[in-house]
Chain A
């Protein structure tokens, strides 16, 4: 399979990449790890005239802790996240999810920025960053702006990034005391993408009830989303079978979900329910330490 011909330019800095994007507009596409884009180009589902390779921009490959948050450059690979000691200590749900992406070779090349910008409905990170209430930093011709992740995923392969903007960083919180999170996925047996994936975050109040609950769901619908109704029903409660049954009832409407060869919308709704239940239980147990 041979992609359509294209020109190739390597950007060494964010400014260089932005200048190239400004100059070439719609004809250009950014290349990060290439593990979504290159397969699409080989199928000629994507036929950019110019690839702007951002893979060498050093400052976007770093993970660092700052002001109670961990900042990940867009080019941090799934593998780096999987093995990051800092993340394992301070935000372990991210390595837990990274380890479930594709296979080792894919994880060696794919990047968190590429995954989030691509917004594949079956990608894993979207559920996790939603549950963590992360922030996305975008950099464009007018400088940087911060996008709360709840406003980021807008539809099938569609995000709040504007034309000419790069996703430059992702900021996730350091897990606060007495909090826990978990990511569980029902993988497509062939592709390993999520048929449904659920990330849950729980923070306990002094009386051991839930002070904060966030549930991020991927794979189920055209875009990853928060199960906000279920979240609200759980605040102030402890997590046990009865509360879970009450809170998760009708948590998703099959009419809003995807149907395909892997699963009908009804089955996806069922998976949302089962995985949310398990993820919340794990998050709750981890919050107890």
Chain B
């Protein structure tokens, strides 16, 4: 039996009919056409499918769409406002936090959850918060920098992107 559910995705409310076995990530990508959320492993490991459900990061490949009935969902597409990149998106850009970019939406959503709880995380805390996200390209180094950049921006601090820092040692 199909169920009619109502979900609010990035501020927009949708009523859709779904089969119970439809995964939340399939609803987001295939039904609503928001393909920023990726499917990496489909086995709850890699975190590429991470979205926020009622403000908390979850792996949308490990939740049925029917379970999200009545929920507020945010995907990576919902972060930017009025053409203004979210500080995390800006951080990934400025600090070169991605290579192929496949993991990036999931990592940004996991990081957004972290920064809500902890506005000034240490490198160690960032790495722990990313235990559920795999990146097969970057080695995580610049991802950590990107998240620290975003955290500083969100705390209202001025940040100088690495590439634009004054050369050291110049007289």
Contact = CB atoms under 8 A, between A and B. Distances in A.
B20 A105 contact: no
A105 B57 contact: yes
Contact of B62 (A4, A10, A34, A55): A34
B114 interface: yes
B66 A8 contact: yes
A108 B131 contact: no
Interface residues of A, number: 29
Given A103-B132, A105-B59, 7 more contacts: A5-B21, A6-B21, A42-B43, A102-B131, A104-B113, A106-B59, A109-B58
Interface string A1-41: 11111111010000000000000000000010011001101
Q: Which 10 A-B pairs have the closest CB atoms?
A: A103-B132, A8-B20, A103-B131, A108-B56, A105-B132, A3-B21, A105-B59, A105-B57, A38-B62, A8-B66
Interface in B86-144: 110, 113-114, 117, 129, 131-133
B51 to A, nearest CB: 10
20 contacts: A3-B21, A6-B21, A8-B20, A8-B64, A8-B66, A10-B69, A31-B67, A34-B62, A35-B62, A39-B44, A53-B66, A102-B131, A102-B132, A103-B133, A104-B113, A104-B131, A105-B58, A106-B59, A108-B57, A109-B62
A106 B114 CA distance: 14
Most buried by B among A31, A39, A51, A109: A109
B1 A106 contact: no
A104 B129 contact: yes
A41 B22 CA distance: 12
Interface in B42-64: 42-44, 47, 50, 56-59, 62-64
A281 interface: no
Given A7-B20, A104-B129, A104-B131, A35 B44 contact: yes
A17 to B, nearest CB: 15
Interface of B: 1, 3, 19-21, 42-44, 47, 50, 56-59, 62-64, 66-67, 69, 110, 113-114, 117, 129, 131-133
A270 interface: no
A79 interface: yes
A6 B42 contact: no
Most buried by B among A6, A10, A38, A104: A104
Contacts of B114: 104
B20 to A, nearest CB: 4
Contacts of B44: 35, 38-39, 106
Given A8-B20, A35-B44, A105 B63 contact: no
B20 A51 contact: yes
A218 B50 CA distance: 29
Contacts of B42: 1, 42
A192 interface: yes
B7 to A, nearest CB: 15
A264 to B, nearest CB: 25
Contacts of A105: 47, 50, 57-59, 110, 132
A35 B47 CA distance: 13
A288 B133 CA distance: 39
A31 B21 CA distance: 13
Contacts of B20: 5-8, 51
A265 B170 CA distance: 61
A102 B114 CA distance: 16
Interface string A230-251: 0000000000000000000000
B47 A39 contact: no
B152 to A, nearest CB: 21
Contacts of A34: 62-64, 67
Contact of A55 (B1, B19, B67, B131): B67
